[in-house]
Amino acid sequence: MHDYRAKIETELSGICAGILKLLDSRLIPSTASGDSKVFYLKMKGDYHRYLAEFKTGAERKEATESTLTAYKAAQVCPFGHRLCNFVE
């Protein structure tokens, strides 16, 4: 059972890392609209949260902090105003 769990955690880590890389390298920098940026930042927070759900120790702490950072960034549009029209 432990080996299977480790295998699944490794696969999930790889998937999350790939999506986070795509978000950071292409999607977030290239978006022009505030709503799209909020969507991608929230998505970034979600994927860090997924990592925090099964990581332990320092990796969990790092994933948790990254989750909070992304969610906080998603709460404010590029002009410093809260976006009120974004619906989850």
Record the pTM: 0.84
DSSP notation for 24-62: IIIIHHH--SHHHHHHHHHHHHHHHHHHHHH--HHHHHH
Q: What are phi and psi of 10, to 5 degrees?
A: -65, -45
Judged against a pLDDT cut of 70, whether residue 86 lies above it is answered with no
Judged against a pLDDT cut of 60, whether residue 36 lies above it is answered with yes
| 86 and 38 Cβ atoms separated by less than 8 Å | yes
pLDDT digits (tens, 9 = 90+) for 5-23: 999 999 999 999 999 999 9
Judged against a pLDDT cut of 50, whether residue 87 lies above it is answered with no
Judged against a pLDDT cut of 90, whether residue 33 lies above it is answered with no
Spans of all domains in the chain: 2-75
| 60 and 67 Cβ atoms separated by less than 8 Å | no
pLDDT digits (tens, 9 = 90+) for 68-83: 999 999 988 655 555 5
Q: What percent of the chain has pLDDT over 70?
A: 86
